[in-house]
Amino acid sequence: MPITGKRYLDYSSFIKSIFGERVQKISLDIGFSCPNRDGSKGFGGCTYCNNNTFNPDYCAPTKSITQQLEEGINRFSKKYKTQQYFAYFQAYTNTYSDLDSLKNMYEEALQVPGVIGLVIGTRPDCISEDIINYLSLLSKEYYISLEFGVESTLNKTLKAVNRCHSFEDTIAAYEMCKNKGFHLGAHVILGLPGESKEELLMHAVELSKLPISTLKLHHLQIVKQSVMAHQFKKEPEKFDLFTADNYIELVSEFIEILRPDIIIERFISETPPDLLIAPKWNGLKNFEIVAKIDKLLTKNNTWQGKYYKQQAVISK
């Protein structure tokens, strides 16, 4: 069991162990598109996606990277004592450009006082040797984390939600990026249509085989202006959205199977209320869900990785 006081490895303890204090992420929107919207892989995007759900109000592609970061830092420095920040390239696909443009953007972010690293969200099919080598060099001086949207380990689901890449693409991307000096993260959505409970738990087994150090879990949310919003309106019976209690129970089982050295960064998504269609968990906030997960793990006397080996054997 982890020695952080939690029954799983939590991100804030991990960051404090490296930097001695909280490091605040400042979200950026640099106006990228993504290959799943502009036609190079697909049109219309992933069915659940509305990128507006990512962006705080200071974050707009009409502003420079420096301006977005300075405004974000100004806001968070009033809220928290921290003086250290990560530039979070979050909206859309943040490696989807030529290397020179990417270098300019990443290096502009790293010039902003207080910024000590980058967190870069992208798709598994949008990475190249050149970008990897560059990030590898940057990681000698800065904290660099590259996060891939895995979303599901099942190809039938990836196809159904129009991801336009396979799980084999995901495995290949992690293979290319492993042992290069930067951190690797994964983003997964639990509850995509058509996945049974057994299949959801198998994601933990498959994710445990990837060379990831951090994991973000998200429950499926139906958001306005997404393809899924129309599908949900037309055929709500095809969706089995979690209640808060059901999700908390699932997460508790999920992390029992998960590799014990994976740092869990998030358990839920938090879509702004004006964009959220369902499920509405009476406005429960992230910290309240985390407290309930902690309580359930304690009640059940269980922890991350408790059944990791057994599951790994079963999966072979």
**Which residues contribute to the site for ligand SF4 (CB under 6 A)?**
34, 36-37, 45-46, 49, 51, 92-93, 123, 149
CB 182 within 8 A of CB 141: no
For ligand SF4, give the closer residue by CB, 91 or 258: 91
Residue type, 228: M
- Output 149 or 305, the one with its CB closest to ligand SF4: 149
- Least distance to ligand SF4 from the beta carbon of 33, Å? 8
CA dihedral 254, 24, 141, 178 (to 10 degrees): 20
Nearer to ligand SF4, 10 or 151 (CB): 151
Nearest residue to ligand SF4, by Cβ distance, number only: 45
Task: Give the shortest CB-210-to-ligand SF4 separation in angstroms.
Answer: 18
Asked if 260 contacts 305 with a C-beta cutoff of 8 angstroms, the reply is yes
Coil, strand or helix: which one is 28?
strand
Cβ nearer to ligand SF4, comparing 10 with 29:
29
Taking the least distance from each CB to ligand SF4, the nearer of 93 and 231 is 93
**Which one, 27 or 93, has the nearer CB to ligand SF4?**
93
CB 304, min distance to ligand SF4, A: 27
Distance CA 105, CA 81 (A): 27
Tokens describing residue 127: 């990475």
Residue bearing tokens 């001086």 = 141
User: Contact, 180 vs 63, CB < 8 A?
Assistant: no
DSSP character string of 95-123:
T-S-HHHHHHHHHHHHHSTTEEEEEEEE-
Q: How far is the CB of 41 from ligand SF4 (least distance, A)?
A: 8
Q: What are phi and psi of 10, to 5 degrees?
A: -100, 150
Q: How far is the CB of 249 from ligand SF4 (least distance, A)?
A: 27
Shortest CB 175 distance to ligand SF4, Å = 20
- DSSP tag of 38: B
Q: Strand 222-223 to strand 276-278: parallel, antiparallel, or no bridges (unpaired)?
A: antiparallel
